[in-house]
Chain A
Amino acid sequence: MMILKRLTLLFSAVAMVATLGSVTVQAKYPEKPVTLIIPLGAGGSHDMNARVFTSVIPEFLGNAMIVKLMPGASGQKGTARAIKSRPDGYTLLFTHNFIDQLQRHVEKLPYDTLKELRTVWKFNDADPIIYTRGDRPWKNMKDMMAYGKKNPGKLIFTNSGKWGAGFTAGAVILAAAGVKAKFIPYKGGGPARRALLAGDGDFTVGRPSHIKGNLRAGKIKVLGLAGLKRLKAFPEIPTFAEQGYPSTGMTMDRIIQAPAKTPQDRIDTLRTAFTKLYKAKTFKKLMKKIGENTKFMDGDEYDKNVRPKQSKAYKTLVKKLTSK
């Protein structure tokens, strides 16, 4: 299938050269498939979300969108490649806020995402929840933090890898509560959940759709969620805000970005296509099937209101966590 897509790419490239020779009228963007770089690995949630929307979007964009997975160096490899690509609207980056806004405070990067990338579209987001084992005595976040405060270094936070999506939510709350905990990283959310179930940890960060089975069996207990509203699926579980904890920056925003110098009219074309996509029934149905929401936001709004604010919050968070 990949080969087929490459072939179409080749053919369209040939076709483009042919049309350029005969017609001088400005061609309509996109006249060849658009490449969507994912700086993360195969089979992850970005991959799945992308497979879903790229299968529907050609109808609205007028051309295909090709997923190109470029994992490596915690997402820096794909990000660097997207930034270096020609700003012609044919290369986009499908990333998330932790790569985009948090990493820059952790280490020196060869690029500046805030300056060199602009957001085309915030695709959707994933609100984390924090849960503990069913046999722990805590009923909510406050109980657990009180225990942590009394027993510094005792509370074990199994997470899906430092500075990642399954890390930040826990780190933000621990920092806000002033609790010293033991951080044990695992290779992804699945192994972190295994560790919790095996009794190697006290709490972890996860997604509501992944834990329903264990929740019903009483193996785990949810302590709170990051969203602004309580979830329909768990009406009895309070949000972090209700419990007096911050929840900014915990959500993983999946965002589609382009090199900053990409022409405005091409960005507009892409946005129009996305607007239509979000009205399509197939798209909505598929997103529901993979258990993801469709909370989108226009890229300009995201760049203006969300990005700088989150980046600032992450700066303080990283400072707090790295100074010991």
Chain B
Amino acid sequence: MLWDSFIEGIYLAFRWDTFGFMSLGLMLGMFVGALPGFTTVMAMALVLPLSFFMHPLVGIPFLIGVYKGGIYGGSIPAILISVPGTGAAIATTFDGPKLTQKGHGRKALEMALFASVIGDASSDIFTIFMIVPISMIALLIGPPELAAIIVLALVIVAAASTGSMIKGMVMATFGLMLSMVGQDPLEFMSRFTFGSLQLKSGIPLLPMMIGLFAIPEIMAAIERSMEVGVKAPPKDAHAGERLRFWEFKRCLRTIARSTLLGTFIGTVPGVGQPVAAFAGYAAAKNASDHPETFGQGDLEGVAAAEAANNAVNGPTLVPLLTLGIPGDKVTAILLGAFVAHGLRPGPMLIVDNGPTVFAILIAMVMANFLFIGLAYISIPLFARIVTLKRFYLIPIIIVLAFSGSYVSRSDPFDLQVLCIAGVFGYAARKLEFDVAPLVMAFILGQILEYSIGQTTNMASGNVFVYLFTERLSAGVIFALVPVLVGVMWYRTIKRRKRGEKLKSKVIGEDFA
């Protein structure tokens, strides 16, 4: 019966207007995502009322198009000007901008595109066939399990970092501390706010991120121009070289690994794309036989991050479709769209509206292939930005960094955060501290604090007993943490003994 619905879904999905509006959504999403500060969620909320007037098989794919386009769009400024448009694109800034500096901006954009599309399409297909098991996983992971998984992630981040481990730990600890500024998420007590209403809502991620990654990059660019003087742009003012097939082939293993990781992280509710991108990047560097080129402008780094963050997309839809639970803001908007079209996400959705649901899922897979064409055509347009003269380009980047920090909340305080984070990031760069563990710990810290708080409440304070009597799986993961630390430590030491040369001159290098 499910199979019949699936076949019927295929017939339903192939309508010209579905494809037309999906293309429109993809382009719209890509352009909005490429503008720093404009998030995919904002774009989706804005076009949501429009989708109400469309057929369900047009309106929902249209929104999904905006979503998918937006996630890729975020990688464009991350690669070209080191301004991560969204949290998902942070890991892309480790290698992307370095490639652009070498004149390979277009290559990097194309690599990101193929990695994104492969990651996304495979996770979508996986989602369609594994929809039932994934929805079961979503119910298995509650706050205690989430806390355990986050601790595990933190350990991997810290332990996998080669180079100066202590510096990485210092930054990670600082990131954890920063994540606790503001109201505590459970009881709303103010912490480290010094009576300021501004700090009460915590430190905003987006301005901090842009400050930490983009401002040091701008300063470095200015320093370079001061050294060499203002140069004319590279002799050939075209958009740059295309991606070669062998370069793509070289990254296939990395893409496959990141896709698997991203898909897995997508099935865990409440973790999200930034974490997946970091994990994909770390895993790729760990597995590589040339980890020293990561962070220096390695196409594999871009592929690792982009495949992982896009692979999250498919499985995150599962709790919405099968349980009627939106896991994040994007799926909350999609829930609105489903309800508006008379579809009720939940256990009965596939029974009641099987063909429509499969048609939407199939359209989602098709969106990826459509996107390859659309984005491939528009990449040269974006890549052209690097052909601008430096004295135009740097001011443009500064404007984008500031406006990008401001637009999400229209709050002048966010500009202060941007400036402080920028100065901090610049100092860290000069002192050879990597800011990536800080941001990672900042993101993970908020999830961790919340889930630990929930767990403590659930256990009525007696966490240890609760974990090992009622939440054995979480308890086991927690128990595994020291073992894993040991293994990682041992591997690092062994690797160092083998005499691997590690330069830690460049940002992103320490982090793995």
**Residue A193, interface by CB 8 Å:** yes
A118 within 8 Å of B by Cβ?
A: no
Name the residue on A nearest B35 (C-beta): A3
List CB contacts (< 8 Å) of B305-339 with chain A: 319, 323-327, 329-333, 335-336, 339
A43, A47, A69 — most chain B CB neighbours (10 Å): A43
Chain A, interface residues (CB within 8 Å), range: 35 or more
CB of A194 within 8 A of CB of B49, answer: no
Complex contact B41–A51 (CB within 8 A): no
Give A72 to B325 CA distance when docked, in angstroms. 24
In chain A, positions 227-241 with a C-beta closer than 8 Å to chain B are none
Query: Does B7 count as interface, using CB distance less than 8 angstroms?
Result: no
B38 closest partner in A (C-beta): A2
With both chains docked as a complex, state the minimum distance between the C-beta of B47 and any C-beta of chain A, in angstroms.
8
Say whether B201 contacts A43, CB under 8 Å. no
B-chain residues with CB within 8 Å of residue A156 when the two chains form the complex: 458
Contacts A2-B42, A190-B332, A213-B345 hold; do A286 and B327 have CB atoms under 8 A apart? no
Tell me which residues from 129 to 169 in chain A have a Cβ below 8 Å from any Cβ of chain B: 153, 156, 162-163
Given A182-B460, A184-B454, A213-B349; A52-B200 close (CB under 8 Å):
no
Q: A107 an interface residue at 8 Å Cβ cutoff?
A: yes
Q: How far does the Cβ of A156 sit from chain B's closest Cβ, in whole Å?
A: 8
Set of chain B residues within 8 Å of A68, measured between Cβ atoms: 410
Residues of B within 8 A of A214 (CB): 323-324, 346-347
Q: How far is the CB of B390 from the nearest CB of chain A, in Å? A: 26
Establish whether residues B139 and A197, one from each chain, have CB atoms under 8 Å apart when the complex forms. yes
CA of A122 to CA of B353, assembled, Å: 36
| B44: interface (CB < 8 Å) | yes
CB of B291 within 8 A of chain A? Answer: no
- A73-B182, A214-B346, A219-B347 known; A194+B323 contact, CB < 8 A: yes
**Residue B348 CB within 8 A of the other chain:** yes
| Contact call B39/A42, Cβ cutoff below 8 A | yes
B407 within 8 A of A: yes
Are B197 and A194 within 8 A (Cβ)? no
Q: How far is the CB of B222 from chain A (nearest CB, A)?
A: 27
Asked if A43 meets B45 with Cβ closer than 8 Å, knowing A107-B188, A190-B332, the reply is yes
Contacts of A210 in B (CB 8 A): 324, 335, 339
- Whether B332 and A110, one on each chain, are in contact in the complex, defined by CB atoms closer than 8 angstroms, is no
A281 to chain B, nearest CB (A): 13
Please, which residues of chain B bring their CB within 8 A of the CB of A216? 344, 346, 348
Contacts of A162 in B (CB 8 A): 186-188
B48 contacts A by Cβ under 8 Å: yes
In the complex, chain B residues whose CB is within 8 Å of the CB of A8: none
Which residues of B are found within 8 Å of A193, using beta-carbon distances? 323-325
Contact A213 B49 (CB under 8 A): no
A47 and B45 within 8 A (CB): yes
B348 touching A217, Cβ below 8 Å: yes
A190 x B327 contact (CB < 8 A): yes
A209 part of interface (Cβ distance < 8 Å):
yes
Known: A77-B201, A162-B186. A43 touches B346 (CB 8 A): no
Instruction: Among A43, A77, A163, point to the contact of B411 (Cβ < 8 A).
Output: A77
| B450 within 8 A of partner (CB) | yes
For B287, what are the chain A residues with a Cβ–Cβ distance below 8 Å?
Answer: none
Interface residues of A in 160-215 (CB under 8 A from B): 162-163, 182-188, 190-191, 193-195, 197-200, 209-214
* 8 A Cβ contacts from B121-152 to A: 138-140, 142-143
Distance of B73 from chain A, by nearest CB (Å): 15
Closest to A80 in B: B197
Given A184-B457, A190-B332, check contact A212 B200 (CB 8 Å): no
Contact A42 B42 (CB under 8 A): yes
| Cα A153 to Cα B462 with chains together (Å) | 14
Q: With an 8 A cutoff between CB atoms, is A106 at the interface?
A: yes
Give chain A residues whose Cβ lies under 8 Å from the Cβ of B200. 72-73, 76-77
The number of residue pairs between A and B whose CB atoms lie closer than 8 Å in the complex comes to 164
Write the nearest CB–CB distance from A271 to chain B, whole angstroms. Answer: 23
**Contact across chains for B201 and A48 when beta carbons are under 8 A apart:** no
Bound CA–CA A42/B38 (angstroms): 11
B249-287 vs A, CB cutoff 8 Å, 1 = contact: the mask equals 000000000000000000001100000000000000000
> Within the complex, what minimum Cβ distance (angstroms) separates B48 from chain A?
6
A43–B335 Cα gap in the complex (Å)? 10
Nearest Cβ on chain B to A5's Cβ, whole angstroms: 10
Q: In the complex, which residues of chain B have a beta carbon less than 8 angstroms from the beta carbon of A69?
A: 42, 408-410
**A18: Cβ under 8 A from any B Cβ:** no
Q: A72-B200, A74-B188 are in contact. Are A43 and B332 (CB under 8 A)?
A: yes
A212 contacts B197, C-beta separation under 8 Å: no
Cβ contact within 8 Å between A289 and B42: no
Q: Which chain A positions have C-beta within 8 A of B41?
A: 42-43
Q: Looking at the complex, which one of A55, A197, A200 makes contact with B323 (CB distance below 8 Å)?
A: A197
Residues of chain B lying within 8 A (CB to CB) of residue A211: 324, 346
Which B residues are CB-close (under 8 A) to A246? none
Q: Is the CB of A74 within 8 A of B46?
A: no
Given the complex, which residues of A lie within 8 Å of B345, measured CB to CB?
213
Contacts of A186 in B (CB 8 A): 454
Residues from 104 to 133 in A contacting B, C-beta threshold 8 Å: 106-107, 110
Compute how far the CA of A211 lies from the CA of B335 in the bound complex, rounded to whole angstroms.
11
Write out the residue numbers on chain B whose beta carbons fall within 8 Å of the beta carbon of A291.
339-340
Contacts of B408 in A (CB 8 A): 69
The winner among A107, A184, A194, A209 for most chain B CB atoms within 10 A is: A194
| Residue B183 interfacial (CB < 8 Å) | yes
| CB-contact partner of A182 in B143, B188, B202, B458, under 8 A | B458
> A184-B454, A190-B326 are contacts. A289–B186 as well, Cβ < 8 Å?
no
Any chain B CB within 8 A of the CB of A21?
no
Verify if B52 is at the interface (C-beta below 8 Å from A): yes
Residue of A nearest to B269 (CB): A194
CB of A51 within 8 A of CB of B411, answer no
Contact between A213 and B324 (Cβ–Cβ < 8 Å)?
yes
Q: Are the C-beta atoms of B325 and A217 separated by less than 8 Å? A: no
Q: Which residues of A, 48-78, contact B by the 8 Å Cβ criterion?
A: 48, 51-52, 55, 68-74, 76-77
Residue among A51, A73, A187 making CB contact with B45, cutoff 8 Å: A51
Q: Are B52 and A71 in contact (CB under 8 A)?
A: no
What residues of chain A lie closer than 8 Å to B454, measured between beta carbons? 184-186
A43–B330 touching, CB < 8 Å: yes
A217 / chain B contacts, CB cutoff of 8 Å: 346-348
| Cβ-closest 9 pairs across A and B | A213-B346, A72-B201, A43-B329, A217-B347, A73-B200, A73-B201, A289-B340, A213-B344, A190-B326
23 residue pairs of the A-B complex, CB under 8 angstroms, read A1-B46, A2-B42, A42-B329, A43-B329, A47-B45, A48-B333, A51-B48, A70-B410, A76-B200, A77-B411, A80-B197, A162-B186, A162-B188, A185-B185, A185-B186, A185-B453, A190-B335, A194-B325, A200-B458, A213-B345, A213-B346, A216-B348, A289-B52
With contacts A41-B329, A185-B454, A198-B142 known, what are 4 further pairs, Cβ within 8 A?
Answer: A72-B200, A72-B409, A153-B460, A217-B347
| A interface with B by C-beta (< 8 Å) | 1-2, 41-44, 47-48, 51-52, 55, 68-74, 76-77, 80-81, 106-107, 110, 153, 156, 162-163, 182-188, 190-191, 193-195, 197-200, 209-214, 216-217, 219, 286, 289-291
